[in-house]
């Protein structure tokens, strides 16, 4: 007797039935367990034999701040050098010159294969086998520069070489993957309008490779910030060595290490935020059909991740 409705309108007189939503009892229980465990953890930590009140002073103490600056300088110098060397090795790796390809493969194999700590120690002790570093023409008496290895191989230089060369091998792989990700047709199109190899690389290939290169490079830089800790082994004054210097006088080992830990968290967080904005800058509109707007800001994205509106309203 009922007729089929095709106009998409709710039939007259038909009311919607009430719906009873599922209660997520399990979710509530597990959330409660987590909160209880965390509270117990905090209570336990507060009862430890530790002088929490001393930590803030260590965080801003001149020794720790010097260590902080040295950590940042070492990480940035090593990462930037690794990027430059990595690009060069990657270009050799994809070149048509078999000697360059073999060299690049061997380089990656060697510097990626050895533990960074071992590499730092090898560089630091170079004077044991080469007391002098000379620049001259082999098999002649002509020497342009001659230096005492121990003068050259400071703790900074040894740590820098160990970290930068190891990282450059990883960067070479990252850059190579980025270059390979660019469609072959892009190079042909650039060729067809007469671009030179250098123009093709800088104008067409690298900008497109960047979106593949940047995320892993950001992760590597964060690892690099933490990896500088290994330089403490040879006595470079980075954060951990600075913390140890203080605690060797007053035995507040945990307090000074926690001060160092706080700084690591700060710089790693800043680096993560920087990485987010760098990625956004290279994430052009081209892969986002229709939309010409920018990606959401970090605050909005975090808010979205947390499933609620931004805490601070933007003023636009």
Partner 1 sequence: MTTTAPAPVLEAISIGKSYGHNTVLEDVSLEVYPGEVVCIIGPSGAGKSTFLRTLNRLEVPDTGEVWVGGEPMGFELRSGRLHELSERRLSAQRAKTGMVFQHFNLFPHLTVLGNVMEGPVQVQRRRSREVREEAVAILERVGLGDKLTHYPGQLSGGQRQRVAIARAVAMKPLFLLFDEPTSALDPELVGEVLAVMAGLAKDGMTMLVVTHEMAFARQVADRVVFMADGGIIEQGPVAQVLEQPREPRTRQFLQRVLE
Question: Which residues lie near partner 1 (CB under 8 A)?
Answer: 183, 185-186, 188-197, 199, 203-204, 207-208, 284-290, 292
Place of tokens 């430890």: 48
Q: How many CA atoms lie within 13 A of 70 on its CB side?
A: 26
Q: Which is nearer to partner 1, 145 or 193 (CB)?
A: 193
User: How does DSSP classify residue 274?
Assistant: H
- We find the least distance from the C-beta atom of residue 199 to partner 1, in angstroms, to be 6
Nearer to partner 1, 205 or 230 (CB): 205
Q: Write down the least CB distance from residue 288 to partner 1, Å.
A: 7
For the chain, what is the largest distance between any 2 Cα atoms, rounded to a whole number of angstroms? 112
**Which of 47, 238, 74, 249 lies closest to 167 in space, CA to CA?**
74
Of 190 and 214, CB closest to partner 1: 190
Contact 78, 70 (CB under 8 A): no
- How far apart CA 104 and CA 86 sit, in angstroms, is 10
Residue whose C-alpha is closest to residue 218's, from 258, 261, 271: 271
Nearest to 272 by CA among 225, 213, 208: 225
Q: Which residues of 240-249 are buried (b: 16+ CB within 10 A; e: fewer)?
A: bbbbbebbee
Pick between residue 264 and residue 282 the one whose CB is nearest to partner 1.
282
Choose between 18 and 290: whose C-beta lies nearer to partner 1.
290
**Phi/psi-derived region of residue 57, left when phi > 0, alpha when psi is between -120 and 50, beta in every other case:** alpha
Q: Output 151 or 183, the one with its CB closest to partner 1.
A: 183
Closer residue to partner 1, CB minimum distance, 66 or 195: 195
Q: Provide the minimum distance between the beta carbon of 94 and partner 1 in the complex, in angstroms, as a whole number.
A: 15
Token pair recorded at residue 171: 């960067």
Report the nearest approach of partner 1 to the CB of residue 208 (Å). 6
Cβ 282 to partner 1 shortest distance, Å: 9
Question: Cβ 263 to partner 1, closest distance in Å?
Answer: 37
Q: Residue 309 has which token pair?
A: 């509106």
Question: Nearest approach, Cβ of 114 to partner 1 (angstroms)?
Answer: 37
**Minimum distance from residue 190 beta carbon to partner 1 (Å):** 8
Nearer to partner 1, 61 or 191 (CB): 191
Q: Are strands 143-148 and 132-136 parallel, antiparallel or unpaired?
A: antiparallel
Tokens of 146: 């001659």
Distance, CA of 288 to CA of 235 (rounded, Å): 50
């Amino acid at each position: 007797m009922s007729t089929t409705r095709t106009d998409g309108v709710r039939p007259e007189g038909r009311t919607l039935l009430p719906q009873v939503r599922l209660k997520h009892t399990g979710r509530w229980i597990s959330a409660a367990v987590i909160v209880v465990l965390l509270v117990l953890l905090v209570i336990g930590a507060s009862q430890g034999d530790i002088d929490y009140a001393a930590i803030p002073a260590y965080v801003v103490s001149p020794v720790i701040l010097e260590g902080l600056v040295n950590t940042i300088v070492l990480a940035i110098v090593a990462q930037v050098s690794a990027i430059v060397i990595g690009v060069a090795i990657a270009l050799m790796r994809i070149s048509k010159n078999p000697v360059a390809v073999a060299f690049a493969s061997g380089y990656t194999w060697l510097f990626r294969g050895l533990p960074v700590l071992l590499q730092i120690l090898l560089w630091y002790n170079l004077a044991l086998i080469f007391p002098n570093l000379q620049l001259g023409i082999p098999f002649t008496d002509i020497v342009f520069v001659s230096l005492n290895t121990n003068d050259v191989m400071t703790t900074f230089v040894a740590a820098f070489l160990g970290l930068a060369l190891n990282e450059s091998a990883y960067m070479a792989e990252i850059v190579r993957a980025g270059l390979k990700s660019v469609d072959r047709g892009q190079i042909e199109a650039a060729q067809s309008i007469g671009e030179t190899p250098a123009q093709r690389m800088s104008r067409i290939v690298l900008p497109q490779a960047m979106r593949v290169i940047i995320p892993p490079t950001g992760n590597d830089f964060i690892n690099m910030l933490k990896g500088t800790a290994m330089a403490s082994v040879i006595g470079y004054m980075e954060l951990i060595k600075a913390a140890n210097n203080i605690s060797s006088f007053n035995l507040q080992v945990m307090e000074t290490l926690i001060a160092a830990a706080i700084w690591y968290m700060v710089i790693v967080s800043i680096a993560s935020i920087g990485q987010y904005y760098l990625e956004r800058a290279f994430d052009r509109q081209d892969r986002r059909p229709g939309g010409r707007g920018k990606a959401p800001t970090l605050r909005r994205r975090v808010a979205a991740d947390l499933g609620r509106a931004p805490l601070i309203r933007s003023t636009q």
